[in-house]
Amino acid sequence: MFFTRKKICGERLYKFDEYSLIFCILFLALWLRKSLLPFTTYDMGTFYLPWYNFILSHGGFHALKFNFADLNVPYLYLIVIATHFPFTAITNIKLISIAFDVVLAGFTFLIVREKYGQTFVPFLAACIILFLPSIFLNSSFWGECDSSYAALSLGAIYFLSSRRYFWSFVFWGLAISVKLQAIFVFPVLLIVFLSGEVSFLYFFIIPAVYLTLLIPALIAGRGFIDLLLIYVSQSDIYPCLTMNAPNMYQWLRSGCFFNQQLKQGGIILTLALVLILSLVVLHSRKKMTSVRIIHLSFLFSLLLPFFLPFMHDRYFYLADVLSIAYAFYVPKRFYLAIITPLTSFLSYMPFLFGNPIIKLSYVAFAPLLVIVVVVWDLIVDLYLTEIPIQATDHGVKFTGQSERPVTVDEELTDKVDAKANAVPTTQYNKETSQVSH
């Protein structure tokens, strides 16, 4: 009995030490962000602070009837709430993004847990997200709001991979309501629909969520048409084919430049690539498993900002997050989770510090390399299988078995086919006896 009690106490102490370390890690993640809060960027001084002060000077919620910001109103609701926090204006604004950092880590935990279950691995993935430079710099140093749409998009991907389609479309409606960049993962929803796994009726959830989130602004007095055209009006604000984004436009000319033909060509090329990849997936007739959903989400979060015009340096943010999830789902590609966030970090440097460590025209080759690798992984997964060769006494023999893991559906199908084609034992014995006689 003494040794049993001692063992129980030892296990409890071990658990206490574990939870203490987890608490310390989370505390350090928040402390890191707190240390970066005082910094004021150009965007903070030019956009976020004036919006914050406009809301304060126009009666809080009542300010929503005016068109004073180039963000959609759901994010402005959060700023209205933040004006009631007992901190400085800059801290209040950045706390919104920091809160979404935590949500982002939480959904990363849930996505990785789909593969690894109740192990330590999902917590490790969440920790990497919290301490990823392109994540904490974006929220607590830069004060940008990319963690908001990325966290909601990740929620949509998680619910999609766990087959909770209603919540997946709700979260995607929330994400697209906050920032248009959530469209980077929309092709995944389209492929899941075209594969016959979800009903078209689910897509009505997206506009329903979007319109519902406009109601507070309508109550405040904002015009309905004005609210619907927010994203249309944003398209002309930054007339640069690339704004420090490490994409293909860096190879055409440095700095901010615009060309109407290149704009149209880039949009058409991107649309064509999305359709080609969708066709590749659909033609394979393979089931959209959790691994393939993460695979495609990561691919499209890279592909769209790389080929689309008007991309900013922060628009690979969602790809940074998904690269971590992809590395845990496909461990042999762990280096992609190093290359992708590093690419974003290098593209942040010119704007934040005026110090381009490496020319962006060179940095742009990194996401292209990642896209090629991920596309190749997709083709191998869907189409290419290796046929092992087995040496025998009679020469070389092809076993006809693939190294690809057999899915549960395929295993059940094989068992049913084997049962249907099996010859009864009694019949086999009679045929054998007749042949022998």
pLDDT at 259: 87
What is the tens place of the pLDDT at every residue in 328-361? 999 999 999 999 999 999 999 998 888 888 999 9
* Three-state secondary-structure class, residue 273: helix
pLDDT at 233: 76
Mean pLDDT computed over 159-173: 95
Q: What percent of the chain has pLDDT over 90?
A: 72
DSSP 182: G
Q: Is the pTM of this model over 0.75?
A: yes
Mean pLDDT computed over 202-219: 96
pLDDT at 391 over 70: no
**Band of pLDDT at residue 256, cut at 50, 70 and 90:** confident
**Band of pLDDT at residue 10, cut at 50, 70 and 90:** low
What are the start-end ranges of the E strands in 145-294? 242-243
Mean pLDDT computed over 227-231: 88
- The angle at the Cα of 111, spanning 105 to 113, to the nearest 5 degrees, equals 100
Tell me the C-alpha distance between 303 and 312, whole Å.
14
pLDDT at 173 over 70: yes
CB-side exposure of 77: number of CA atoms within 13 Å? Answer: 14
Write down the mean pLDDT value for the chain.
86
pLDDT at 431: 42
Mean pLDDT computed over 83-100: 95
pLDDT at 17 over 60: yes
Mean pLDDT computed over 404-432: 43
Q: What percent of the chain has pLDDT over 70?
A: 84
pLDDT at 118: 87
**Band of pLDDT at residue 16, cut at 50, 70 and 90:** low
DSSP 314: T
